[in-house]
Amino acid sequence: MRYADRLRVCSLLPSATEIVGALGCTDLLVGRSAECDHPPGISALPVVTAARIDSGQLRSRDIDAAVREAVLDGKSLYALDDALIRELAPDLVITQDLCHVCAVSSEDVTRVRSLDAEVLALDPRTLAEVAESVRIVGRRLGVADRGETVADEMEARIAATAAAVAGATPVPVFVAEWLDPPFAAGHWLPEMVAAAGGEDVLGQAGRPSFPTTWDEVFAAGPDVIVAAACGFDAARIAAEAGAMAFPCRTVAVDANAHYSRPAPRLADGVEQLAHLLHPDLAPDPGLPSIELVHAWTR
């Protein structure tokens, strides 16, 4: 059922759901993906997508193999409940085309028959584009001023962190977007490292992450390895990385909340990185992190 005075929104993208929440528009959401878990309370919404790979109990090597096999076979990694999304009758569906591993694509949505909805794809690759995506969603939801405020606050926090560590010697860092095989960071993550007073030894800002080897990582000489496997929290990362041998300080962080998703909480991640790299200059924001102290020698 449609309501003439109320936009009905279905988010197939965790970062988009976070943005909608940050804009104060959670009440507009009528459906979500299975991965959408923030802001709190979102779990009550109907789930219209499901991952075809059950990664909950798999290690990163097995997940990588399963994803590669699915891609080679031309299979989508997500199933979209066509009947449910038609029943929910959204006016707007928000998804992405940036990463085939992350969410249902806009092309998949447009294949749903009899779905009379606008499809908005958010595909930011840099911190500036993440902020702009907040503004875009704000305008589309009719809260443009709030979108400007949320985006400006995100950028201001990142700028304040960068100012706090300005002048400090950049710390060589490797951000592991995946563990086995290791993936060097791309898109906004190298920018986050730079803003926090570090230098990503292999990452490429604005470009996709890419597979490498731990030998190549160690040869690049990082002083700190930030284990930020996409979609994992700190505890799950530490459980897997704890069995691995690293020649330098290694810290597991909550990648799922503060690093992987292009949403305002990236500012939290920058603040955490700055504290990890320059604790004398940047305060501890109190986010989850686990030092793998047994994996390196002081």
Nearest Cα to Cα of residue 270 among 193, 186, 175: 193
Residues 171 and 116 in one domain: no
Q: Decide which of 295 and 132 is more confident.
A: 132
Give the span between the Cα atoms of 74 and 67, in whole angstroms. Answer: 11
Alpha-carbon distances, residue 268 vs 6, 57, 156, 214 (angstroms): 32, 28, 12, 27
pLDDT above 80 (res 73):
no
Residues 205 and 103 in one domain: no
Band (2; pLDDT cuts 50, 70, 90) = very low
Per-residue confidence (pLDDT) for residue 136, from 0 to 100: 97
239: containing domain: 167-295
Nearest Cα to Cα of residue 212 among 254, 248, 255, 176: 176
Judged by average pLDDT, the poorest of 43-57, 68-82, 155-169 is: 68-82
Residues 262 and 196 in one domain: yes
Q: Is 206 helix (H, G, I), strand (E, B) or coil?
A: coil
**Do you know the residue count of the chain?**
298
Measured between its terminal Cα atoms, the distance across the chain in Å is 62
- In the predicted model, what is the mean pLDDT of residues 140-146? 97
Residues 102 and 178 in one domain: no
Per-residue confidence (pLDDT) for residue 117, from 0 to 100: 87
Nearest Cα to Cα of residue 187 among 137, 258, 262: 262
Number of domains in the chain: 2
Judge contact between 58 and 85, C-beta under 8 A: no
Residues 99 and 191 in one domain: no
Question: pLDDT digit string (tens) for 185-226?
Answer: 999 999 999 999 999 999 999 999 999 999 999 999 999 999
Residues 172 and 281 in one domain: yes
Per-residue confidence (pLDDT) for residue 298, from 0 to 100: 39
Chosen domain end from 98, 123, 148: 123
Task: Identify whether 129 is part of a domain.
Answer: no
Task: Identify whether 99 is part of a domain.
Answer: yes
Task: Identify whether 141 is part of a domain.
Answer: no
Backbone angles phi, psi at 227, to 5 degrees: -85, 105
Residues 100 and 184 in one domain: no
Residues 114 and 206 in one domain: no
Task: Identify whether 157 is part of a domain.
Answer: no
Question: pLDDT digit string (tens) for 272-293?
Answer: 999 999 999 999 999 999 999 6
Residues 172 and 289 in one domain: yes
Task: Identify whether 149 is part of a domain.
Answer: no
Task: Identify whether 136 is part of a domain.
Answer: no
Task: Identify whether 139 is part of a domain.
Answer: no
CATH of the domain at 47: 3.40.50.1980
Alpha-carbon distances, residue 36 vs 40, 124, 138, 257 (angstroms): 10, 18, 19, 11
Residues 103 and 186 in one domain: no
Full DSSP string of 88-140: H--SEEEE-SS-TTTS--HHHHHTSTT---EEEE----SHHHHHHHHHHHHHH
pTM of the model: 0.90
Chosen domain end from 123, 157, 184: 123
Give the span between the Cα atoms of 227 and 127, in whole angstroms. Answer: 20
Which residues 6+ apart lie within 8 Å of 140 measured at CB?
92, 120
Residues 87 and 182 in one domain: no
